[in-house]
Amino acid sequence: MKANLPESAKRLIERLAELPSIGPRQATRLAFYLVAQGGDAIHGLARDLDELGRVKICERCFFVHQNPGRLCHICESPSRDPGVIMIVEKETDLLSLENTGKYTGRYCILGIIPKTGILEEWQKLRLQNLKRFIEKELGGQAKEVILAFNPTSAGDFNASLLMKELAPLAKTVSRLGRGLPTGGEIEFADDETLGSALERRS
Are the CB atoms for 149 and 185 separated by under 8 Å?
A: no
Q: Among 199, 189, 201, which residue's Cα sits nearest to residue 95? A: 189
Stated length of the chain: 202
Inter-residue contact 149 to 89 (CB < 8 Å): yes
Give residue 117's pLDDT band: very low, low, confident or very high (50, 70, 90). Answer: confident
Pick from 97-106, 146-155, 158-167, 186-195: least confident: 186-195
Supply the pLDDT for residue 198.
72
Global pTM value = 0.78
- CATH assignment of 57-199? 3.40.1360.10
The band of 193, judged by pLDDT with boundaries at 50, 70 and 90, is: low
CA distance 157 to 60: 25
What residues have CB less than 8 Å from 78, skipping those under 6 apart?
A: none
Does 183 have pLDDT greater than 60?
no
Q: Are 177 and 202 in contact (CB under 8 A)?
A: yes
Q: Which fold has domain 7-52?
A: Helicase, Ruva Protein; domain 3 (1.10.8)
Residue ranges covered by each domain of the chain: 7-52, 57-199
Q: Is the pLDDT of residue 38 over 50?
A: yes
Confidence of residue 28 (pLDDT cuts 50, 70, 90): very high
